[in-house]
Amino acid sequence: MAATAAAAAAAEGVVIACHTEEAWNLQLQKGNESNKLIVVDFTASWCGPCRFISPILVDLAKKLPNVTFLKVDVDELKSVAMDWAIEAMPTFMFLKEGKIVDKVVGAKKEELQEKIAKHMTN
């Protein structure tokens, strides 16, 4: 059921929150298989800049349904944050075909939009 809900959410162009390592791994696998650009928002509930950029990310997800947007709370999934060497929030990782192709550290709306546009076309 959860996988179906996530698939429906992805079809609607929303940010998919990964609350478990299993959900995280499933979303990465699906993204790699689809060859879509994946934008991962590493965030924290206590982070002011994260709260600022969150609605902007939701808006981008609605406008760009061909991009997969994932959200990982670094306190909820500490092991994932450690595996990805996340040191500041928000950190946005851009993945394509299973590889990291870019990164934005900080709530930088313009840079985030530029990197998405760049990697959607590559």
The catalytically annotated residue of 23, 50, 67, 86 is 50
Query: Can 18 be counted among the known catalytic residues?
Result: no
Query: Can 50 be counted among the known catalytic residues?
Result: yes
Count of other CB atoms within 10 angstroms of residue 107? 21
The catalytically annotated residue of 47, 53, 80, 112 is 47
Please state, in angstroms and rounded to a whole number, the distance separating the CA atoms of residues 114 and 99: 19
Count of other CB atoms within 10 angstroms of residue 78? 11
Q: Which residues are catalytic?
A: 47, 50
